[in-house]
Structure 1
Amino acid sequence: MVLPGMKPRYTEDPNRPGERRLPGFGWLPNRIRHLFISCLGEFVGTFLFLFFAFAATQIANNLLGKNPMNIASLLYISLAFGFSLAVNVWVFFRISGGLFNPAVTVAMALIGAIGWLKAGALMVSQVLAGIAAAAVVSGLFSGPLAVRTSLETHTSVVRGLFIEMFLTFELIFCIFMLAAEKHRSTFLAPIGIGLALFIAELAGVFFTGGSLNPARSFGPDVVLGTFDGYHWIYWIGPLLGAVLAVIFYRLIKTLEYETANPGADGDGQDQSHHDESRASTKYHDTYQTRQMTDGTNETHFATLLQDSKRTLATPPHRTTSSDYGVASAEALPREKISPPLAAFVHGGDGHHSSDGSSDSIDHPNDRPRAQHTRSSRRLSQSNYEMTSDNSYRNGPSAESGRSSS
């Protein structure tokens, strides 16, 4: 924001000319500034993601009261988490990457997408955002804070650990293939990521609370000051899922998974354009070399006709000849030159073409069409033009192939 009287400052980094700088922060190196932007984006994005998810969970659990979880509440909570993640990832994807999860951040660092220093800073921002979101929901919404994750009565700690591991594996592998791997549909990655969390919540909310995110479980416990003895599974389980997703991702990358199903990333447009181009070229070549029924080439014939007209239009002092045997202008007086009959370009389908009009002559590659009406246009004032017109009217009929005289 530049207030009246203030001049905007720009970075002095030659690699990034024209970048605006906040007044008073010209001394800040770009590397530190970028890290600050990423941490700020992760904090705000994680806060918004968990705020809306916690708010919906608070509503559902308070309405349930002491009643057990039902399908309606399960769907409500799962939809809230899935849609909140999809929207906020889409918003913050270009700012910080939209990770919002320490387990996802570790996974991205393991595959080399981000550095470990940045990963550590982002994880701190995410954990702080989880605490802030839980505190705000607790202060704004009535009733006790009911957004903690806990194991279902009949779910053991080991089961809960593996449930969290596999659910997180699904989410992180989805992020790898849709966001980390760049392809035609990368811009739609937030939708797929949100749906991945949605189906994971459907499977896990009832048994473990569906954490998949250490910051999601740690924040409410800090606000309430309550930590279960098995709270560690909400850290170890997602981290194991991250490691498992990285191992599998590295395996298929090493095996060059792109070669197993070639063209799967395409939309069919490139191949169709290639096929159309080949078909067009083939048709063009065939059309150019197509022969007449009498063995002549219609394109060559039309070219000769065009040369003949140009010959007739040359001044008398020039000596020209054509393939039709037109006599030299110097050898014969102009008044004794017999103008040739109008030539007809054969269409190859048993009909004759037009009378050598400008359309068919100026564009010899355009296939002439059969004429079904006689030309009634008279070209006056010129003996040559009158003779050409009479020759055309006495020529063969396009319908019968015989002379009409």
Structure 2
Amino acid sequence: MSSSNDIEEGRIEASTQSRNDSGSSSSRVVFLTQKFIAEVIGTYFIIFAGCGSVAVNKIYGGTVTFPGICITWGLIVMVMIYAVGHISGAHFNPAVTLTFAVFRHFPWSQVPLYMFAQVLGSLLASGTLSLMLEVKPQYFFGTVPAGSNIQSLVIEIIISFLLMFVISGVATDNRAIGELAGIAVGMTIMLNVLVAGPVSGASMNPARSLGPAIIMHNYKGIWVYLVGPPIGTILGALAYNLIRFTEKPLKDLTKPASFLKTVSRK
């Protein structure tokens, strides 16, 4: 039979374990909350600055200019990557989050949280711009196909492919200079907007298109921007990892878990 001391020690151990489990759970909640807030804030300012430059350019007679819009998108993405990349991984894009998860380098359990944060940030920024600038329908700052939907779909796939290809190269390959990741990704955004902006709006990001569409009730061609970027990012990650230098055989390279290492902290 157990002595009273043994029983008391067992109670103490059980109580200590319970506190440790509770502390671990609380730490996880705090950490996820920090990531959520970082994604909301990062996406908010990307949409506020990028879409804001589009709206201001339309409202005030081209004062920003098209090259200015391209530079704005590139700069704000670069700035926010350096600002919160070490907290959330700086996804700011449901297509990027989905790609990381597909290749098993980002937990599926956090995907809904990230996507909700990104769409919420886009909605808040779009609402701010709409109220602050009193944007009329003709000054819509979202993305709509200039030509056919198929044309915009193809170009969204291509530029999203390039975006994820660069992310894979500069942010997930340990041979790259990680400190330059923000610059490389920001410049890729700028180049993509220069090339594809007049055609599709150069979204590359479902949240970027969805926020303005919901706030201003303009859903023209919205499916293009929900379908095209995820296809492009998945193909871009796949392509980079097929050419990544490794001594592994091709059959191992083509396993999803071997494809991509995310900079996001799990």
Greater mean alpha carbon deviation, residues 242-251 or residues 167-176: 242-251
Structure showing greater Rg: 1
Match of 2:141 in 1: 147
Contact 1:151 1:160 in 2 (8 A): yes
Q: Work out the CA distance in 2 between the residues paired with 1:92 and 1:106.
A: 19
Greater mean alpha carbon deviation, residues 107-116 or residues 79-88: 107-116
Structure-to-structure mapping, 1:288-299, within 5 angstroms? none
Structure-to-structure mapping, 1:3-402, within 5 angstroms? 28-64=25-61, 73-144=65-136, 145-152=139-146, 155-183=147-175, 185-228=177-220, 230-253=221-244, 256=246
Q: Work out the CA distance in 2 between the residues paired with 1:13 and 1:250.
A: 40
Q: Could you list the per-position Cα deviations for residues 177-221 of structure 1 after superposition, in whole angstroms to 9, with x for gaps in the alignment?
A: 111223351011000000000000001110111111100110011
TM-score between the two structures when normalised by the length of structure 2: 0.79
Q: Work out the CA distance in 2 between the residues paired with 1:94 and 1:148.
A: 29
Contact 1:43 1:128 in 2 (8 A): yes
Q: Work out the CA distance in 2 between the residues paired with 1:51 and 1:159.
A: 27
Q: Could you list the per-position Cα deviations for residues 339-374 of structure 1 after superposition, in whole angstroms to 9, with x for gaps in the alignment?
A: xxxxxxxxxxxxxxxxxxxxxxxxxxxxxxxxxxxx
TM-score between the two structures when normalised by the length of structure 1: 0.53
**Amino acid aligned to 1:256:** T
Query: Which consecutive residues of structure 1, in runs of 5 or more, have no partner in the other structure?
Result: 1-11, 15-24, 259-405
Query: Which consecutive residues of structure 2, in runs of 5 or more, have no partner in the other structure?
Result: 1-18, 249-266
Contact 2:51 2:142 in 1 (8 A): no
SS at 2:53 equivalent = helix
Q: Work out the CA distance in 1 between the residues paired with 2:46 and 2:228.
A: 21
Alpha-carbon RMSD: 2.3
SS at 2:143 equivalent = coil
Q: Work out the CA distance in 2 between the residues paired with 1:166 and 1:131.
A: 26
Q: Work out the CA distance in 1 between the residues paired with 2:109 and 2:202.
A: 29
Moved over 4 A (4+): 25-28
Q: Work out the CA distance in 2 between the residues paired with 1:238 and 1:124.
A: 17
Distance 1:84 1:43, change over 3 A: same
What is the total number of aligned residue pairs between the two structures?
228
Q: Work out the CA distance in 2 between the residues paired with 1:77 and 1:41.
A: 24
Q: Could you list the per-position Cα deviations for residues 366-389 of structure 1 after superposition, in whole angstroms to 9, with x for gaps in the alignment?
A: xxxxxxxxxxxxxxxxxxxxxxxx
Contact 1:40 1:125 in 2 (8 A): yes
Greater mean alpha carbon deviation, residues 110-119 or residues 47-56: 110-119
SS at 1:29 equivalent = helix
**Structure with higher RCO (Cα < 8 A, 6+ apart):** 2
Which structure features the higher share of helix residues?
2
Residue 13 of structure 1 deviates from its aligned partner by 5.6
**Amino acid aligned to 2:88:** S
